[in-house]
Chain A
Amino acid sequence: MLLNYEVIDNKLVIKLDGELDHHVAENIRVELDEMIEKKRIKYLIFDLSNLRFMDSSGIGVIMGRYKNISKIGGKVAVIEAQEKIDKIFALSGLYRIVEKYENLTEALNRL
């Protein structure tokens, strides 16, 4: 799993490249939380265009970041979720708390 970051003002764009399961979830969690604190991030955007596989561990990672960032009035968004991953998010009710946008431009405009 590769993580690519881009910080735009107080927004952090994370591009997940590869497979997100329980094995890699812990590292991602630690890395993201560090970054959020250091860069004073308020909005998190998960770019899932290159995410080839995700199981429910991914829901845990996103929900956990939502819990932290919503405490400081921030928001979490996902963009370009492929069909299978979109289905997992939908059935877990994740879209009730996390914004879903088509692409990065839309996410940056709306957040």
Chain B
Amino acid sequence: MEYKNHMKLEFDSKSQNEAFARVVVASFATQLDPTLEEIADIKTAVSEAVTNAIIHGYEDRLGIVRVICNIQGNELEILVEDEGNGITDIPQAMEPLFTSKPELERSGMGFTVMETFMDEVRVYSEPGKGTRIRMVKKFKSLVAE
């Protein structure tokens, strides 16, 4: 039987929770026997996705951000969801250096960082309904066994 596990985390769209979310996901991932590098990859990707939900999804409003993790075999699937503004042009949003918020000194590198550090990144979004980012990380230590 392939190993499976699941967890769901819900929190307010406050920037204080960015560190909280990435630490929780990293802790959950420890059961996959990750390398330090893999843990750093996950933390960075989760931080980017959650920051997006807070800044772009809800802007200055308070909303709920959900982080769902599913482990299946050697893979960790991470879903980061908000019920905020949504993205009208997903390909444009994912372009390196594109930002809709230059006044906040956002670098526009969020999705590029997620794509660099994770094995798969998909964005599902509907304007006015919200955004879901789905990321997958494959853990090498377990593949080798």
Which residues of A are in contact with B by a Cβ distance under 8 Å?
19, 21-23, 25, 29, 53-57, 59-61, 63-64, 84, 87-88, 91-93
Instruction: Tell me the complex Cα distance, A80–B51, Å.
Output: 26
Inter-chain contacts of A64 with B (CB < 8 A): 105
Which residues of B are in contact with A by a Cβ distance under 8 Å?
15-16, 18-19, 22, 37, 40, 43-44, 47-48, 51, 54-55, 96-97, 104-110, 112-113, 116
Contact A57 B113 (CB under 8 A): no
Contact B105 A55 (CB under 8 A): no
Inter-chain contacts of B110 with A (CB < 8 A): 55-56
Contact A55 B47 (CB under 8 A): yes
Inter-chain contacts of B107 with A (CB < 8 A): 56-57, 59-60, 63, 92
Instruction: Tell me the complex Cα distance, A65–B130, Å.
Output: 33
Chain A contact residues: over half helix, strand or loop, or mixed?
helix
Asked, given contacts A56-B113, A92-B112, whether A25 binds B44 with beta carbons under 8 Å apart, the answer is no
Contact B40 A84 (CB under 8 A): yes
Inter-chain contacts of A63 with B (CB < 8 A): 105, 107
Chain B contact residues: over half helix, strand or loop, or mixed?
helix
Which of A19, A22, A25, A60 is the one whose CB lies under 8 Å from B54?
A22
Contact A21 B113 (CB under 8 A): no
Contact B105 A22 (CB under 8 A): no
Inter-chain contacts of B55 with A (CB < 8 A): 22
List 10 contacting pairs A-B, 8 Å CB cutoff, sorted by A. Answer: A29-B105, A53-B44, A56-B107, A60-B104, A60-B106, A63-B105, A87-B116, A88-B44, A92-B97, A92-B109
Inter-chain contacts of A88 with B (CB < 8 A): 44, 109, 113
Asked, given contacts A22-B55, A23-B16, A63-B107, whether A55 binds B40 with beta carbons under 8 Å apart, the answer is no
Contact B112 A55 (CB under 8 A): no
Which of B15, B16, B37, B51 is the one whose CB lies under 8 Å from A55?
B51
Min Cβ gap B71→A in Å is 23
Instruction: Tell me the complex Cα distance, A25–B54, Å.
Output: 14
Inter-chain contacts of A25 with B (CB < 8 A): 105
Q: Can you add 10 more A-B contacts, CB < 8 Å, to A54-B44, A56-B107, A59-B107?
A: A21-B19, A22-B51, A22-B54, A53-B22, A56-B48, A56-B106, A56-B108, A59-B109, A91-B112, A92-B112
